[in-house]
Amino acid sequence: MALIDYIRANIDDKFQETDLPFPVSDKSFAKNDIISDYSIVEKMVYFLESGIVQISLPHQNGEIRILDFFFSNSFFCSYSSLLKQQPSDVQLTAITDCKVKTIHYADLKKAYESSILANKIGRLEAEKFYLKRVKREKDFLTKSAEERYKDIMSENPEFINQISVNKIARYLGIHPESLSRIRKQQIF
Amino acid sequence: MALIDYIRANIDDKFQETDLPFPVSDKSFAKNDIISDYSIVEKMVYFLESGIVQISLPHQNGEIRILDFFFSNSFFCSYSSLLKQQPSDVQLTAITDCKVKTIHYADLKKAYESSILANKIGRLEAEKFYLKRVKREKDFLTKSAEERYKDIMSENPEFINQISVNKIARYLGIHPESLSRIRKQQIF
């Protein structure tokens, strides 16, 4: 179980499956399934065991802007909506078939009252989300689309094979044709 | 002691001062003192008991851009630098006389190993920092300088009296003369 391995690797190397401070369930999503939609109040936290998830925002003329991708072995959800328990302004979509573990936020909040492990997970994930957000904001201000393309390529080699050019362009905030030009100029 | 009251109000209403899971020290800063400078690796977490602190970033032509203000009863530090233990790209400055409690990050990290309270504080502060960052990013994209000025006025009535027009303009990202025009147009 990938979640157990993730906790052992990141939080407690002696962790046993029976020590989980909240119930988890298995769920599968097919490619293109909406996991968490615009305007809903997020009630779930997901741990992605396999697959790729995109987080998107409505943009101009009915187009969408892709804010981020999540890969296997990471927690994800509509995080601002979860924390504030207010309607979400983002959408989470499975862009490949995905297997996830689901945790109800009500169960997580209950675990926060008395479990050090639940609080450690919550703290470390909040810190990661914060740093990811800061990096994205800084990269947009200081790096060209070409540099940001090189970054995602080197950080996520699986990116180019499983995500369409169109989606990567929407993530970089450029036209798909501009991305094609960048890709032709680069030697991999 | 404001920190104890903050923990009681936000985390554990039965909390006693002797329950603190890490050592804290008292420190004072005079107006205009640099609390945490560019390029240092942040080693401290601060709890602001009284005063106002600004967080700034170098901008064009030697000018600075003010990213945020912290008011009394809040934790602050060069947070990205703290989490990554890498040189900071921001500066923290006391813009009024300030009284703070200081916590060494090494002590906090040690407390994270076994204290549920330390992890609760770390989690809640990380969540707050995340939401603040998201709000600022969204506000910059969707609100005019005038709307953002109204927001900080209503959220922090103490703002206008203790922070110079010049600093508020640098926070809004506009020229001080534009801010003066906005202020003249508004009836308070």
Phi and psi at residue B158, to the nearest 5°: -70, -15
Rounded Cα distance between A180 and A169, Å, is 9
β-partners of residue B94 are: B53
Q: Per mean pLDDT, which range of A43-52, A77-86, B88-97, B178-187 is the poorest?
A: B178-187
Q: End-to-end alpha-carbon separation of chain B, Å?
A: 34
What tokens were used for B8?
A: 């009681």
In this structure, the number of other CB atoms found within 10 A of the CB of residue A13 comes to 8
What tokens were used for B40?
A: 């240092």
Phi and psi at residue A89, to the nearest 5°: -105, 10
**Structure confidence by residue, pLDDT tens digits, B44-78:** 999 999 999 999 998 878 888 899 999 999 999 99
Q: Can you point out the beta strands (E) in A77-117?
A: 91-94, 98-104
Query: Residue B131: its chain A contacts at CB < 8 A?
Result: 80, 83-84
- Of A107, A46, A135, A71, residue with least CA distance to B133: A135
A149 against B122, higher pLDDT: B122
Interface of A with B in 124-153 (CB under 8 A): 126-127, 129-131, 133-134, 137
Say if residues B21 and B3 touch (Cβ distance below 8 Å): no
ipTM score above 0.90: yes
In this structure, the number of other CB atoms found within 10 A of the CB of residue B64 comes to 16
pTM exceeding the 0.90 threshold for the entire prediction: yes
* B128-142: b (≥16 Cβ within 10 Å) or e: bbbbebbeeeeeeee
pLDDT over threshold 70, residue B39: yes
Mutate to test the interface with B, among A123, A133, A141 (most CBs of B within 10 A): A123
Q: Which residue of A has its CA nearest to B131?
A: A80
pLDDT in tens, chain A (188 residues): 699 999 999 998 999 888 899 999 999 999 999 999 999 999 999 999 999 999 999 887 888 889 999 999 999 999 999 999 999 999 999 999 999 999 999 999 999 999 999 999 999 999 999 999 999 888 888 899 999 998 888 888 876 788 998 999 999 989 999 998 988 887 55
